[in-house]
Amino acid sequence: MVLTPLSLASHSFVLAQPCSPEEVDKILAADPLEAKVLAGGTDLLVQIRGNAIAPETVVDLGQVPGLDGVVELQDGLVINAATTLRKLEEEATVGTRYQALIDAGRTVGSPQIQNVATLVGNACNASPAADTPVALLIFDATFTIRGVAGSRQVVATDFWIGPRRTCLQPGEWVAAVRLPRTADAMASSYLRVGRTRGVDLAIAGVACAITAGEIRIACTGVAPAPKRLTHVESVFAAGGLREPDWRSITAALNEEIDPITDIRGTNTYKRAVAAVCLKRAYAQTVTRIGRKNPNRQGGSDEL
Amino acid sequence: MTMLGTGTARSGGGPQTARVRGRQLFADDLEEPAGTLHGALVRIDRPHTRLRGIDTSAALRLAGVERVITAADFGPDGPPRFGAVVRDQPVLADEVTRYPGEPVALVLADTRRHAIAAARLVEVAAEDLPACYDAQSALSADPIHAGVPAYPFPGSDPGRSNVLGEWRFDWGDVEDAASAASLILRNRYTVPLAHHFAIETYCTIAEPMGPGVRITDTVQHPFVEQRVVAEVLGVPLSQVHIRALGLGGSFGGKGYPKLAPLAALVCRLIARPVKIALTGEESFHTGQREGCEVDIETGFTTDGTILFQRIDASFLVGAYADVSSRVVAKSGLHACGPYRTPAAQITSRAVLTTTPPTTAFRGFGATHLAFAVEGQMDEAAHALGISPVALRLKNIKTAGEQTALGDTPVDGDWPEVLRRTDSKLGAAAPLPDGHGRGVAMGMKSCAPATTSLANVKLNHDGSVSAAVGTTEMGQGAVITFGSLVSGLLAVPVENVDVTMSDTVATPFDAITASSRSLVHMGNALMQACESVRQQLQELAAELTGIAADRLRVQDGHVIDLDGGSLSYADLLARTFGPGQGQLVGHGRFTSPMDDQHPLGGPAPFYEAVGTGVELSVDSETGQITLHRVVHVTDAGKVLNLPRATGLDDGGVVMALGLATSEQLVYGRNGLRNGSTLDYRIPSAADIPEDLTDIFLENEDGPGPFGSKGLGEGGILAIAPAISEAVFQCTGVRIRDLPITAEAVWMGLHKQIRDVNAS
Amino acid sequence: MNYDLSVNRHRYQVDAPASYSLLDVLREVLALVGTKYNCEQGECGACTVLLNGRAVNSCLVLAATAVGKEITTIEGAAESPFGPELMEAFTDRDAAQCGYCTPGMVMSGLSLLRDNPTPSRDEIRRAIGGNYCRCTGYFSIITAFEQASVKGGLK
C-alpha cells in the first residue's frame, strides 16, 4: 500500500567477516534463515535496499583466504566464490577454454559492476535473466556447496529451481564452481539481446558450445530459471551440426522455453529473440571453431 | 567582442574547473543547518484511493523519530494546496489520493536513515477508486477532483469531467478544404509519459528565517517558487528567500515547485530546519512529461500542398495542473508546425489522469504534435510520390510569413534549415543497402511575456560582480554571461563573478526555461553593462574634461581617442576616494505582453531545427542502429560554440532515448518501471555512430548580437525522422512512441503474417 | 562499526553502521561530497570511485569491506595517473555541462586509462557504459577521453 524511500543505510544488520570457510559455515548455521552471504554484493545489497530481503547478518566472503581466484587443475578449473567477473576475464584459461563464460561475464552490468560482482554471486542470485549461469550450464559446471553438515557437489542443471530460487538449503553456501576441462577444440559463445545496446538485463540470451559433433545449448530470460535445452540439443544433433534444420530446431526451442511477458518484452518477442540468439550463438561458435582449428578446414571436423 | 563566438569554452574556466574536480556543490552536498530534521515521504502505491486511516504509532516509536506529519496536522481546512498556475495540489494528500506515488505522510527524524526506517512502519489504509491512465477512461470516469479547485481554463468543467482545459484554435474553412483535397490522411499517433531523468535527484532544505523561511532547493525558477511558497505560508514575498545552487540537470523537471511548499509549511510548524532529499525512484513520481493521444486528419493537393489540418489531441497531464495547461495550450496554437496551413481545426485537450502531475519538459509543447504532423508529411509524400523533403519545402514558411493566428511572424530562414539538414545528410549519398533516411523539422515558440532583470557592479578594484536570477543547470549560462560581461566591460573573465538564482542576492527573473535566458537575461545584462560603461565614460569625462563620446573602454581602462588611458581602479579611486566605491548598472528586458494572445503574448523568438537520421534495422530483432544524425539549428548567432554543440548533442541523444526506448508504464499496481534498472536512458553504448551539429547564423534573433535561444531544439524532430527512416528500411510505419526494437519487430512480423495469409 | 579507511592516501577513522555503503561513508561521514549519487543500485555510475585503482559503484560496496583497500575519489583524482590530463581534457572539450555525472565519469576514465592507456572509441564507450549523463550525449566526454589518453600516454 505504501512506497517509501529505498535506502541501504536505513537497514540494520551485522556484518560478519569470517576468516575461514569453517567460520562461514558456523555463522550461517547459527542463523540459517536470517544470514546472507556477500560474495561481491552487487545483487545482495540492491535486494536489501529494495526491501526484498532483510537479513540480520551479512557474511562477507572477502576476508576468507583461498576464496578469491581461479585454480587450474588437470581435469578442469575451480572458480572460487569471491572471484570477480573482472578477474575471471583476465584468466587466460577461461578465455581459451570457456569463451562463453567471458562473453557472459562481459554483459553483466557495467565495468564497475564487473569489478565487484562475482561469478558465484551471479549464480546464487538466480535471476531468471542472468547471463553467466547459461555459460555454466553448457560447461557442465558443478557447484561445491558447503555447510556445517559437510559439503556436496551439485551439477548446474540441478542448481536453479525457479525465479530467484536455488537448491541451496538454509545454512548452505557455494564455496566454488568447478568446470570440467573442455576438449581443446571446443568453442563456445554467449549472445544476448537487451532493450538497449548499453547495460541492461537480457530479454533473452543463449549460450552454445560445440565440439566433436556435440552441441550444448542453454538459455536465459525465457524460462523461470536459466535452462539447459536438452531437447533442442538432440534435435540439433539429429539433423547434423553442419547444416542445421532451423525449422525443427526453432520448433524444439519453442517447446522447451516458456517466457513471460514483462517490462522487457512480450513472451512472443522473447521467443523470437531467443531463436535469433540461438542462430547467432551457433554461427559465432562455428566461426570460433574455425579460428581455433585453422588446420582443419574451418574446423569442420568438430561439426 | 573578441571573447564571443570564438569557440572557446575555457573563458568560463573557474566554474568548469570546479566541475571537473568535483568541487561544485549541489543542494544535497551542503552541510545541513544545525538542528535539521530529515524528512522521508510515505507515498501511496495505488492509482486512486480514498484514505481510511494512517497509523504512525510504530514509526513514532523508532529511535530518532521526532514527528510524522499527515494531512491532520494542518487543521480543519486540511493541507494547503499549491501550484504555479492554479493552487490544486495538496502538500500532502487529504482524504483522496490521485496518483501512485502521491505523498500521504512525512516522517521527520534526526537522520535520513532513521526517517526512512520509520517510514517503512507507517501503515496506510485506503479503499481503491477507479484508475484512469488513458484519455478514454479518464473522459468517461467520474472526475478525480470533486469540483475543487475550479480550473480557470477554457473547456474546464469542474466537478463534472476530467478535462483540465480544452484549447481550440480554428482558422480557414476546413470543410471546404476537405472537399478540395485529393489526399486526406487520417491517423492516430501516441506519445507516452516520460521522465526527465536528471542525474541529480530532488533536494529541498527549508530553515526558519524570522517569520518566514529560507529555502535551498533544486529548482529552476526561484522567483516562481518564492511566490508559491509565500502563498501557502500567507506571508509577503520578503519573508521567503529561495536560492538554487547549480542543478545537476533538470530539463523542466525541477522547474516549478515540488517539495518546497511542504518543506516550508513543516519548517514553520515545527520551527526547525527540514531537509527532504529524494531517491532516484522517488524522482519518477515527481517529474514527468505529458503523454499524448493525437487524432490527426490532413488534406493535401496532388502536388503535396497542405490544405488543412484537423487535429484532436488529448494530453494526459496527471492528477494536478502544475504547468501542463501551458504546455497543452502552446501545443495547440503551434500544432501545424512550420508549415503553411490554410485551414485548421485544432483541439488541444488537457485530461486529468491518475498519474503524477506532468510538467515542463525540454521542448515544452513542441514535441508531441510534431511527431504527428511530421509523420503526416512523410506519409503524404509516399502516397503522392514526392520526396518527403520536397513536400516539406513546398509547405514550409519563409521569413516574415504569418504564423498561427497572428503570432510573431517567422523570424528565421526555415527552408534553409531544412535544406541544410537534407544536403548534409545526403552528402554521404548513395544510401547503402538496407539503410533508411528520415528528415524532420521542429519548431518551438519561446515562452512569452516574461521579464528578466540584471544587476552589474563594477567594484573599485576593477572587478565585476554580476547578479542574475538565471539558474545554471548545464546550459552554460554562467559561462556565457560571464564572457558577455567580460566582453562588454573589457575586463578579464577571471575578474567577473556571476551570482545566480537567489531571490535575495539577484534581481527578479521570471523563469530559467524555454531557451529564453540568452535573449531575455542576455539583453538585460547588456543594458546593465551599458549603464556601467556610460557611467565610466561620464566620470572620466568629468575628471579629464574630454567629451564622453571621445572615450571608450578597453582592457580595464577608459581610453580616449588620442591614446590617454585611465584604469577603472584609478577612476573609481579618484571618484570615491581610495579603497571604496562602486558603479552599479541595472538592466531589464520584458518581452511583449498581449491579453488577447492565447498564450499571453507573442513568441519572443522561435527555435527552428531540422534533424536528419540514417539508420538500419536488424530485421530479425527489430533493433535499430543509428549510423548518422545531422542536426541543424537556426541559432541567429552562436555565442559559445562548444556549449551550443554540446546542448544539441545532448538534446539529440535524450530525444533518441525518448524516441526508441523511454516510456513510463502504469498498471493496476502503479508505476511498473520506476527505477533506473527498468527505465533505461541512453548510455554511451547507445549513441549514434556519427552526429553533426550545424548552426545557421543569420544574426536575425532578438538576443545579444542577433542570437536566439537554443538548447531545446535537439529534442524536437528526431522521433519523426527515425519513424520515417524505419519505414524506408522495413516498410513498417510506427505511429506510437517509443519505436522499440519489439515494436519494429512486431510490425515486420505482421507483414510476414499478412503475406502468408494472402 | 569502527574501522579505518584509506581514502586518497589519507587514513580516516570511521564509525558507521554496518549497512553504510562506501558512498554513505564518503558523503555523510567523511564529507567527501564530490562523489554523487542517483540510483543507489549500480545503474547510473554517479557514485563511481576507484577501489585499488579500479572503478566500482560506491553505492554497492559496504564501506566496512573496503578496509585495507586504497579508495580514490574525485577529490584525489588530480593526484592519480592520467588525472590532470583527463581533467584538463574535460575542460578543453567542454565535457561537463551540469557537472553532476562528471566525478563518476572521471573516475571511470581513470580506471580505463590505467588498464588501457590508448583506448579506442568503442573501448571508451564500453568503459563509461555504466555512467549515465543526461546532458552531453556523451560525444564531448568520449573526445575528452581520447585527448587525455594521447596526452597522458606521451609521458
Strands B670-671 and B690-696: unpaired
Q: Say if residue B147's pLDDT is above 90.
A: no
Q: Say if residue B378's pLDDT is above 70.
A: yes
C-alpha cell at A108: 553483466
Q: Minimal Cα–Cα distance from C130 to chain A, Å? A: 5
Measure CB to CB from residue C138 to each of B28, B201, B684 and give the nearest one: B684
Residues of B311-349 as b/e, b for ≥16 C-beta within 10 angstroms?
bbbbbbbbbbbbbbbbbbbbbbbbbbbbbebbbbbbbbb
C contacts of B36 (beta carbons < 8 Å)? none
Q: What are phi and psi of B27, to 5 degrees?
A: -55, -45
The stretch B722-745 carries a mean pLDDT of: 97
Q: Say if residue B620's pLDDT is above 50.
A: yes
Measure CB to CB from residue C33 to each of B29, B654, B687 and give the nearest one: B29
Dmax over Cα atoms in chain C, in whole Å? 45
Q: Say if residue B579's pLDDT is above 80.
A: yes
Best mutation target, A58, A112, A196, to test chain C (most C CBs within 10 A) = A112
Please name which of B636, B660, B631 lies closest in space to residue B648, comparing C-alpha atoms: B631
Cβ proximity of C72 and C110 under 8 Å: yes
- Rounded CA-CA distance A248/A97 in Å is 30
Within 10 Å of residue A242's Cβ, how many Cβ atoms?
A: 9
Best mutation target, A45, A110, A122, A195, to test chain C (most C CBs within 10 A) = A110
Rounded (10°) angle between helices A267-292 and A246-256? 130
C-alpha cell at B256: 516549478
Measure CB to CB from residue B43 to each of A3, A10, A11 and give the nearest one: A3
Interval B227-239: pLDDT, tens:
999 999 999 999 9
C-alpha cell at B149: 479547485
Which 3 state secondary structure label does DSSP give A138? helix
B743 touches chain A (CB under 8 A): no
DSSP B217-271: ES-S-HHHHHHHHHHHHT--GGGEEEEE---S--TTTTSS-SSHHHHHHHHHHHT
Contact pairs from chain A to chain C, CB under 8 Å? 99
Strands A160-162 and A165-166: antiparallel
Interval B380-389: pLDDT, tens:
999 999 999 9
Cβ proximity of B425 and B479 under 8 Å: no
Which of B93-102, B380-389, B555-564 is predicted with the least confidence, judged by mean pLDDT?
A: B555-564
Residue C99 and residue B654: Cβ atoms within 8 Å? no
Residues 181-200 of A with CB under 8 A from B: 193, 195-200
A contacts of B623 (beta carbons < 8 Å)? 193, 197
C-alpha cell at B327: 504546455
Which 3 state secondary structure label does DSSP give C55? strand
- Rounded CA-CA distance A110/A108 in Å is 7
Evaluate if pTM is beyond 0.95. yes
Give residue A100's Cα distance to chain centre.
10
Residue A199 and residue B685: Cβ atoms within 8 Å? yes
Cβ proximity of C138 and B690 under 8 Å: no
Residue B112 and residue A7: Cβ atoms within 8 Å? yes
Q: Minimal Cα–Cα distance from A58 to chain C, Å? A: 9
Radius of gyration of chain C (CA): 15
Sign of CA dihedral A222, A223, A225, A227: negative
Q: What is the per-residue pLDDT for C155?
A: 54
Residue C21 and residue A9: Cβ atoms within 8 Å? yes
Residue A15 and residue C130: Cβ atoms within 8 Å? no
- Rounded CA-CA distance B542/C103 in Å is 52
Closest Cα in chain B to C27? B29
Residue C34 and residue B646: Cβ atoms within 8 Å? no
C-alpha cell at B220: 529552476
Q: Say if residue B13's pLDDT is above 80.
A: no
Burial grade of A257 (CB within 10 A; 0-12, 13-18, 19 or more): buried
DSSP A64-131: STT-SSEEEETTEEEEETT-BHHHHHT-HHHHHH-HHHHHHHTTSS-HHHHTT-BHHHHHHHT-TT-S
DSSP A226-253: -EE-HHHHHHHHHH-SSS--HHHHHHHH
According to DSSP H, which parts of B597-740 are helical?
Answer: 641-660, 718-730
Residues 243-262 of B with CB under 8 A from C: 246-251
Burial grade of B385 (CB within 10 A; 0-12, 13-18, 19 or more): exposed
B673 touches chain C (CB under 8 A): no
Q: What is the per-residue pLDDT for B148?
A: 67
Cβ neighbors of B120 (< 8 A, separation 6 or more) are: A4, A10, A51
The stretch B466-475 carries a mean pLDDT of: 97
Which 3 state secondary structure label does DSSP give B561? coil
Residue A199 and residue C60: Cβ atoms within 8 Å? no
Contact pairs from chain A to chain B, CB under 8 Å? 104
Give residue B651's Cα distance to chain centre.
11
A contacts of B282 (beta carbons < 8 Å)? 5
Q: What is the per-residue pLDDT for B98?
A: 97
A74 touches chain B (CB under 8 A): no
Residue B198 and residue C98: Cβ atoms within 8 Å? yes
Q: What is the per-residue pLDDT for B236?
A: 98
Q: What is the per-residue pLDDT for B19?
A: 87
Residue A49 and residue C41: Cβ atoms within 8 Å? yes
- Laid out side by side, the sheet with C48-51 consists of C10-15, C2-7, C70-72, C48-51, C54-57
Residue B685 and residue C75: Cβ atoms within 8 Å? no
C-alpha cell at B56: 504512525
Cβ neighbors of C93 (< 8 A, separation 6 or more) are: B642, C140, C141, C143, C144, C147
The stretch B713-728 carries a mean pLDDT of: 97
A106 touches chain B (CB under 8 A): no
Within 10 Å of residue B170's Cβ, how many Cβ atoms?
A: 13
Q: Say if residue B8's pLDDT is above 50.
A: no
Residue with cell 555503503: C21
Q: Minimal Cα–Cα distance from A158 to chain B, Å? A: 29
Q: Minimal Cα–Cα distance from A3 to chain B, Å? A: 5
Q: Say if residue C153's pLDDT is above 80.
A: no
- Rounded CA-CA distance C11/C9 in Å is 7
A contacts of B58 (beta carbons < 8 Å)? none
Q: What is the per-residue pLDDT for B43?
A: 98
The stretch B160-175 carries a mean pLDDT of: 97
C contacts of B29 (beta carbons < 8 Å)? 27, 33
Q: Say if residue B7's pLDDT is above 60.
A: no
Amino acid (one-letter) located at B714: G
Closest Cα in chain A to C105? A112
Strand ranges in B263-324 using DSSP code E only, listed in sequence order? 274-277, 288-289, 291-300, 306-318
Interval C67-90: pLDDT, tens:
999 999 999 999 999 999 999 999
Cβ neighbors of B505 (< 8 A, separation 6 or more) are: B243, B467, B499
Residue B649 and residue C137: Cβ atoms within 8 Å? yes
Interval C92-132: pLDDT, tens:
999 999 999 999 999 999 999 999 999 999 999 999 999 99
Closest Cα in chain C to A10? C19
Residues 602-661 of B with CB under 8 A from C: 642-643, 645-647, 649-654
Q: What are phi and psi of B243, to 5 degrees?
A: -135, 145
Q: What are phi and psi of A12, to 5 degrees?
A: -120, 125
Q: Say if residue B282's pLDDT is above 70.
A: yes
Residue C51 and residue A58: Cβ atoms within 8 Å? no
C-alpha cell at A203: 530479454
B contacts of A45 (beta carbons < 8 Å)? none
Please name which of B323, B309, B350 lies closest in space to residue B166, comparing C-alpha atoms: B350
- Rounded CA-CA distance C61/C21 in Å is 5
Write the CA distances from B279 to A41, B41, B91, integer angstroms. Answer: 20, 10, 19
- Rounded CA-CA distance C131/C111 in Å is 13
Ranges of chain A with pLDDT below 70: 295-302
CA dihedral B502, B505, B511, B517 (to 10 degrees): -120
Interval B475-485: pLDDT, tens:
999 999 999 99
Measure CB to CB from residue A198 to each of C41, C62, C129 and give the nearest one: C129
Residue A198 and residue B680: Cβ atoms within 8 Å? yes
Rounded (10°) angle between helices C102-115 and B13-20? 60
A54 touches chain B (CB under 8 A): no
Residue A198 and residue C18: Cβ atoms within 8 Å? no
Residue A110 and residue C19: Cβ atoms within 8 Å? no
Q: Minimal Cα–Cα distance from A193 to chain B, Å? A: 8
Which residue(s) pair with B612 in the sheet? B439, B630
Cβ proximity of B197 and B681 under 8 Å: yes
Which 3 state secondary structure label does DSSP give C16? coil
Cβ proximity of A118 and A101 under 8 Å: no
Q: B150: pLDDT confidence band, cut at 50, 70 and 90?
A: confident
Closest Cα in chain C to A7? C40
Residue with cell 512523410: B378
Closest Cα in chain C to A198? C129
**Residues of A within an 8 Å Cβ radius of C:** 6-15, 17, 38, 41-42, 45-46, 48-50, 58, 60, 62, 86, 109-113, 115-116, 198-199
Please name which of A1, A269, A257 lies closest in space to residue B125, comparing C-alpha atoms: A1
According to DSSP H, which parts of B503-597 are helical?
Answer: 517-544, 568-576
Interval B596-607: pLDDT, tens:
999 999 999 999
Cβ proximity of B96 and B51 under 8 Å: yes
Complex ipTM value = 0.98
Measure CB to CB from residue B686 to each of A11, A196, A266 and give the nearest one: A196
- Rounded CA-CA distance B321/B326 in Å is 10
Q: What is the per-residue pLDDT for B2?
A: 34
